[in-house]
Amino acid sequence: MEPFRLHILGCSSAMPTMKHYPACQVLNVREKLFMIDCGEGAQLQLRRMGLNFNRISAIFLSHLHGDHVFGLPGLISTFSMLGRTQSLHIYAPDDLEKVLRPWLDFFSPGLEFEVVCHKVCPTREEVIYDDRSLRVTTLPLSHRIPCCGFRFDEKPLLPHIRRDMIDYLGIPTYAIAAIKAGAGWTDAEGREWPHERLTTPAAPPRSYAYCSDTQYLPALAKRVSGVDLLYHEATFAQSEAVRAEQTCHSLASEAAQIALQAHAKRLLIGHFSARYEDESILLREAQAVFPNTLLAYEDLQIDL
């Protein structure tokens, strides 16, 4: 099966800390890399984890707080030094172009590739990226500044043609693509073999939802319904419920409640407050609601 793999480069924190790198993830969809948020140190983590810079085709930014974007200028400069020519598309729920362009003009003049900034609306759910293998939809969130999450849905794969039927019927190579696309086959004796007899179903398409900084939003559960993996911020434990409301962040138990209501297969929690030296309290509170919960940490790799 082709990869649909999540790499955690940074987990971020609601307050300054050296315990975690700022927020950054990379999603590998059939060997095409998509970056989600780009906190400071993103390019160092890319190198350390052995991820190929040149395969990053798009970057999705949840919002323009520094711990989610300060790695961007350095990453673009590195792309330039590596001789990138492919356009880089960046999707963000605010006027990123106004912020980024002066920096690039000063530090990275003469870029040999185009940086295309796409301003997305953080208050509505809409498809912002669509190719042969992937569709990306925005997820409205509620934070102190415009902020949205992203849902990544893999496109269905073609069915697998049965090797035994190829050999038995002597099906030529040129016919395989048509059969995978739905055609049948007529053998040398004129017998018709339907598509369903010649193939086996492909694995079901996979999905991932990234819900960055946000207060608890019950409506989010419907938008991430049925995902294979849900990432949801879990900044505070239950004892800090007032603080969570004041800062527009979520409790670990609230993240778990979203996963439960969405019938997600797995929940990954992150963006922990620096007050927690031991984040197991957040894991315990989330697992009490949604048992299949994991803690995000640097270097974590999850195959979907």
Catalytic site positions = 67
Residue 3 contacts residue 14 (beta carbons within 8 Å): no
Structure tokens at 262: 């969405």
Cβ neighbourhood burial of 22 (10 Å; 0-12, 13-18, 19+): buried
Q: Which residue type occupies 210? A: Y
Structure tokens at 92: 């963000």
Q: What residues have CB less than 8 Å from 200, skipping those under 6 apart? A: 159, 160, 162
Taking the alpha carbons at both ends of the chain, their separation in whole angstroms is 10
Report how far residue 118's alpha carbon sits from residue 31's, in angstroms, rounded to the nearest whole number. 23
Structure tokens at 225: 């319904």
Pick from 212, 209, 243, 202: which is nearest to 226 by CA?
Answer: 209
**CA 299: distance to chain centroid?**
15
3-state SS of 234-298 is CCECHHHHHHHHHHCCCEHHHHHHHHHHHCCCEEEEECECCCCCCCHHHHHHHHCCCCCEEECCC
| 31 Rama sector, left if φ>0, alpha if ψ -120 to 50, beta otherwise | left
Q: Which residue type occupies 149? A: G
Dmax over CA atoms of the chain, in Å, equals 76
DSSP class of 13: B
